[in-house]
């Protein structure tokens, strides 16, 4: 079963910026209610898009360097990276249907 990838400050470049697949990174924190609402959706989508689009999770409380680098001021914030570049940013919890459409679009463009 595919699970979201744990992303942190030390593996960010290798895991996200040098990724072969497009990757949606969820910037979150354990105390954030909307983050907890979106987590099971991202787990399901991680399974659904396994091998086509990756999903990563970065805890902003533990990884402040990456959060600052991308000016994360509200969570959840999800940034879609393709070929090492941020191509789309979403702020706030989003429904599964919208996230699926974004991931499908990323898969088609890669």
The reply to whether 32 belongs to the active site is yes
What is the rounded distance in angstroms from the CA atom of residue 103 to the CA atom of residue 46? 10
Which residue out of 35, 53, 55, 78 is catalytically annotated?
35
The reply to whether 35 belongs to the active site is yes
Which residue out of 32, 53, 67, 103 is catalytically annotated?
32
Which bin fits 78, alpha (ψ -120 to 50), beta or left (φ > 0)? beta
CA distances (Å), origin 83, targets 18, 60, 70 = 7, 23, 16
Active site residues: 32, 35
């Amino acid at each position: 079963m595919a699970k979201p990838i744990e992303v942190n400050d030390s593996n960010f470049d290798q895991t996200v910026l040098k990724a072969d697949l497009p990757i949606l990174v969820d910037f979150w924190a354990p105390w954030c209610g909307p983050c907890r609402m979106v987590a099971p959706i991202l787990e399901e989508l991680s399974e659904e898009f396994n091998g086509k689009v990756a999903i990563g999770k970065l805890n902003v409380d533990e990884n402040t360097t990456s959060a600052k680098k991308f000016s994360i001021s509200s969570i959840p914030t999800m940034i879609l990276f393709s070929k090492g570049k941020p191509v789309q940013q979403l702020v706030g919890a989003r429904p599964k249907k919208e996230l699926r459409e974004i991931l499908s679009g990323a898969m088609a463009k890669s």
